[in-house]
Amino acid sequence: MTTEFDDELLSAVLDGEADPQTVAAVQADPDAARRLTALEAASALVATPPAPATPERRAASIAAALAAAQPAPEVTSLSVARERKTAAAAPKRRQVNWLAVAAAFAFVLISAVVITGIVGGSNSADVVDTATEAADDAADATETAESFGTADSTAMAESATADDADEAVEDAMEEAMEEEEAMEDDAMEEESMDAEDAMEDDDSETALTTTTVTAERSIEPFATNNLLLLEEAIDLGVVVPVLQPTDPELLDVVNLDCLNPELPPDIDQFAFAELGEFAPPPQLVVVQFDPFDPSQVILIFDAEDCTPVG
Amino acid sequence: MQTLSDDEDLIRAAQSGDMASLEILLDRHHDRIRAVCARVVGNHADADDAAQMALISIVRNLERYDGRAKFTTWSYRIATNAAIDELRKHKRRPTSSLDDEDQHFEPVALGNMAEATAARLDVNDGLDQLPEEFRMPVILRDLCGLDYDQIAEVLEIAPGTVRSRIARGRGKLADLIGSISPDGNQDATGGVQGTDHDH
């Protein structure tokens, strides 16, 4: 091998990037010409087109990419989902069935007046008049209660009723609230059962693994038909996409300073699941994988506030 | 004949939500992207996966493609990233890099011993012995036909570095070819070793 022409120069000759004098000099040097031929053979080797994909696989790849262009399921960040959950869990201002309260109130009032009339020996016309007035007042109270809410209706009630009636109203309100509470409990229980059923269905359909992040079954976290879910995300109904490091946007996200290589405190809280044929575009959740073993999740972050999830 | 303006029209339409244009665009570039992936990962199954990932990534990022780089250059960058990811993903998995139908290429107008020997060398085996930093520029140059500036753009390295790495990659492959005897067996030196051609 000549020492006058190195591979870089010869490679430049091969690529047509050397000046004519250099090309002539290489051709005149037998060692350089021999090495140039060897480099040319290497170049020709690489230039050999690989066998193409099968038509089926080719079509599948294109179809997968087209599917990725379709509107994706809504992806909600964990922080937003947490806020929603917190808001939902906060004590709700109870909605009272004021119609029931007012009806009960009117019934008690009329009964009290009638009883008072009988006991007091008033004539029947007075009793009827009084009862009618009381009923009118009760109707007013009902309308006002529907229009203005608790405080106003209570005031109206006070102006129109006696102490006994107040108690009756309170009892009725309590009953109405208890009834509503019971209905809410029933609804929640039903919802919970539905959710459990749905989870069971999911388990059977997707082989959801919730025990370990390493997942005993073979998973391909970068594959397009797999989604990574956090257990919390499942609980919150948040769709968490797998990040694909080939996505430039994801690389930007993954390069955030917040990604310190800390291990999560409880890795068991993560779960893998296949939720659909294609993953939605990654958005708000960052998943950091072991670059040498992508099946291993190192950390999962909420991309909104850069805090590790868990 | 496909022209750049064709691609630009398709891209604009696809960016506006025209799925038919997007499909044409993907169909047009699939084979090119898949070829790069195949040479990088060295087997068909992984090449198909990497190509699919690359196409998906293209679709997802097409909205942000602004035309400053040529679409081919932009898509090559995505394809090489997808292929590298696929490669790393399966690095520890024992795979056969040899695909029967792709094991040995048909020599095209080869008239000398070196080229005849090259014909006995498996392309993927040869590339597999190159460090990644040499392999990528060589593939982009010799398979894709990109010039040094385009390769520099795809790999985000300086053109001078591209030139150097292509030379070193080819040099190593040439040494590998030279280490193979005419009967197709690799000699006792083990093929690619550091040589005085390395810089």
Q: Are A50 and B39 in contact (CB under 8 A)?
A: yes
> What is the rounded average pLDDT of the residues A123-144?
52
Query: Residue A92's closest CA among A155, A180, A154?
Result: A180
Which residues numbered 39-98 in B keep a CB inside 8 Å of some CB on A? 39, 44, 47-49, 51-61, 64, 78, 81-82, 85, 88-89, 91-92
Record: contact A68-B44, CB cut-off 8 A: no
Q: Are B48 and A53 in contact (CB under 8 A)?
A: yes
A95 CB within 8 Å of a chain B CB: no
Which residues numbered 165-184 in B keep a CB inside 8 Å of some CB on A? 166-168, 170-171, 173-174, 176-178
In this structure, the dihedral spanned by the alpha carbons of residues A75, A77, A80 and A82, taken in order and rounded to 10 degrees, is: 110
- CB < 8 Å to B110, chain A: 41, 44
pLDDT of A148 higher than 80: no
> What is the rounded average pLDDT of the residues B147-168?
93
A14 CB within 8 Å of a chain B CB: yes
pLDDT tens, B61-118?
A: 999 898 888 899 999 999 999 998 888 876 644 444 434 444 433 333 434 544 555 5
The pLDDT of residue B123: 79
> Which of A211-225, A282-296, B9-23 is the least confident region?
A211-225
- CB < 8 Å to A226, chain B: none
Record: contact A248-B178, CB cut-off 8 A: no
The pLDDT of residue A71: 63
A121 sits in the region (left: phi over 0; alpha: psi -120 to 50; else beta) called left
Q: In what order do the strands lie in the sheet with A307-308?
A: A285-290, A293-302, A307-308
The pLDDT of residue B25: 95
Record: contact A38-B114, CB cut-off 8 A: yes
Q: Report the percent of chain A where pLDDT is more than 70.
A: 27
A114 or B119: which leads in pLDDT? A114
For chain A, the average pLDDT equals: 57
pLDDT tens, B6-36?
A: 899 999 999 999 999 999 999 999 999 999 9
The pLDDT of residue B21: 94
A127 or A167: which leads in pLDDT? A167
Find the CB nearest A61 among B22, B51, B114.
B51
Record: contact A42-B148, CB cut-off 8 A: no
Distance CA A280, CA A132 (A): 66
pLDDT of B191 higher than 80: no
pLDDT of A193 higher than 70: no
- Tokens 């750049």: give the residue: B4
The DSSP-derived string for chain A is --SSS-HHHHHHHHTT-S-HHHHHHHHH-HHHHHHHHHHHHHHHHHHSPPPPPPHHHHHHHHHHHHHHTSPPPP---HHHHHHHHHHHHSPPPPPP-HHHHHHHHHHHHHHHHHHHHHHHT--HHHHHHHHHHHHHHHHHHHHHHHHH-HHHHHHHHHHH--HHHHHHHHHHHHHHHHHHHHHHHHHHHHHHHHHHHHHHHHHHHH--B-S-TT-SS---TTSTT-EEEEHHHHHHT---PPP-TTSHHHHHHHTSTT---PPPS-GGGEEEE--SSSPPPP-SEEEEEETTEEEEEEEEEETTTTEEP-
Name the residue of chain B whose CA is nearest to A53's CA: B48
Q: Are B54 and B82 in contact (CB under 8 A)?
A: yes
B141 or B98: which leads in pLDDT? B141
> What is the rounded average pLDDT of the residues A235-259?
39
Distance CA B87, CA B128 (A): 11
Which residues numbered 206-245 in A keep a CB inside 8 Å of some CB on B? 220, 222-224, 244-245
The pLDDT of residue A68: 83
pLDDT of A304 higher than 80: no
Distance CA A141, CA A262 (A): 63
> Which of A44-58, B71-85, B92-106, B128-142 is the least confident region?
B92-106
pLDDT tens, B32-59?
A: 999 999 999 988 899 999 999 999 999 9
> Which of A91-105, A261-275, B92-106, B144-158 is the least confident region?
A261-275
Distance CA A297, CA A237 (A): 21
Global confidence as pTM? 0.51
Residue B166 neighbours by CB under 8 Å, 6+ apart: A11, A15, B134, B137, B138, B141, B148, B151
B35 CB within 8 Å of a chain A CB: yes
- Give chain A's end-to-end CA distance (angstroms, integer): 62
Q: Are A41 and B115 in contact (CB under 8 A)?
A: yes
The pLDDT of residue B126: 86
The pLDDT of residue B124: 83
- Name the band, by pLDDT with cuts 50, 70 and 90, for residue A106: confident
The pLDDT of residue B146: 93
Distance CA A230, CA B73 (A): 37
The pLDDT of residue A125: 52
pLDDT of B3 higher than 60: no
> What is the rounded average pLDDT of the residues A28-33?
90
Q: What are the structure tokens assigned to A210, written together?
A: 């919730």
pLDDT of A98 higher than 60: yes
pLDDT of A72 higher than 80: no
pLDDT of A50 higher than 50: yes
The pLDDT of residue A194: 53
A247 CB within 8 Å of a chain B CB: yes
> Which of A83-92, A261-270, B80-89 is the least confident region?
A261-270
- Nearest Cα of chain A lies from the Cα of B184 at a distance, in angstroms, of 15
Q: Are A42 and B118 in contact (CB under 8 A)?
A: yes
The pLDDT of residue A136: 59
